[in-house]
Copies of this chain bind each other. A is one copy, B any other.
Amino acid sequence: MVKVAICGGSGYTGAELLRMLRLHPKVEITAVTSEKSAGKRVTDLFPHLVGYEHLVYEQLDRAELVAKADLFFLALPHAASQEAVDFFYRKNKKVIDLSADFRLASPETYEEWYKTPHHYTETLKRAVYGLPELYRKQIRKARLIANPGCYPTSAILALAPALKKGLIDPETLVVDSKSGTSGAGRKADLSIAFCEVNEGFKAYGIAAHRHTPEIEQEISKLAGKEIALNFTPHLVPMDRGILTTAYGRLTARIDAETVLKIYRKAYGDEPFVHVLENGVLPNTKFVRGSNHCMVGVKVNPRTNTLIMVAAIDNLVKGASGQAIQNMNIMLGFEETTGIQHLGMYP
């Protein structure tokens, strides 16, 4: 049994780690931290986590924690995560960071978008971007994983095969994403109060959302040149799920079936990415609670545009599920261990 600690376990991603690791046969949770809820039991905050009655939140005392676990999940706010990641990494622990702090290879880009400097640029160089579909080999050998953001996971999985094959002009990309409200985190905030969100739909952070440079970093690698794209997130009145609708001008005439073949080849052996049949489009409801990602495409011959659609659960494939997937790869476990469960429908 590998000993695992969760730093920042009182938010939704922390709770999701606990929910899923409960059924993981090779992992034991030895500590969970929360500054605000230290001293409380996990089940005081989350009565649904039946079986965790004896696990009590503690302060994030790094010196004390380091001896308790071999692998650390960090679900801390960005900026706050930097120091803790660096600390555990230097103590030769395996670290999976769910914050944004180690996702951007360029410390300058990080500072530009997150308005705070990066203090651990040496450790940053060791970080592997934890998208298994692109970086499985590197993850296998890594000790520090920067777990991807929720929007980037959906956008990159939607775009990757088309960009890699040069099907679309990367200068024309529009990424229009829609997320459930859990993406905003678990907090007392008027803007996510039930009556403010329910029965409403809005865009936010247009051309300014911090996931933009993360998507651009990966897209640029795939396209082989520096790409800036249009990214617009929207808030959906539902708990979970991200649907990303991406548009790119086709570089040549092609039909949907041919595009789908390329996608199927790209994702053929992937346990969690599923290319839908021609005419079928993803729905976030198909992946709710699961680590699966569904991708569909459509060609608009009238505008010569490829429309790519991907659906994930933002808290699972977009956060905690992918983190466990990365853990499985790092530790040499079967990649699907503990995250094989299917989506909940309805």
Contact = CB atoms under 8 A, between A and B. Distances in A.
A285 B199 contact: yes
Interface in A12-26: 12, 15, 19, 22-23
Given A48-B342, A245-B232, A307-B207, A181 B195 contact: yes
A47 B283 contact: yes
Interface stretch (A81-89, A102-110, A132-140, A291-299): A291-299
B206 A307 contact: yes
B176 A245 contact: yes
Given A207-B300, A238-B237, A282 B199 contact: no
A165 interface: no
A218 B285 CA distance: 35
Interface string A171-183: 0101010101110
A15 B195 CA distance: 13
A241 to B, nearest CB: 6
A196 B346 contact: yes
Contacts of A200: 238, 241, 283-286, 288
Interface in A238-274: 238-241, 243, 245, 247, 274
B190 A243 contact: no
Nearest to A46: B345
Contacts of A204: 281
Interface in A191-248: 192-204, 206-207, 228-230, 232, 234, 236-241, 243, 245, 247
- Size category of the A interface is 35 or more
A115 interface: no
A131 interface: no
A33 interface: no
B229 A303 contact: yes
Contacts of A245: 176, 203, 232, 234
A49 B199 contact: no
Contact of A50 (B198, B292, B303): B292
A173 to B, nearest CB: 8
B286 A346 contact: no
Given A199-B288, A342-B51, A228 B187 contact: no
Contacts of A276: 47
A204 B239 CA distance: 21
Given A172-B172, A187-B193, A47 B294 contact: yes
A200 B344 CA distance: 11
The 6 closest A-B pairs by CB, nearest first: A200-B285, A195-B346, A207-B300, A48-B343, A202-B283, A206-B298
11 contacts: A12-B346, A47-B280, A176-B176, A186-B195, A188-B193, A200-B284, A200-B286, A201-B241, A202-B281, A207-B300, A232-B307
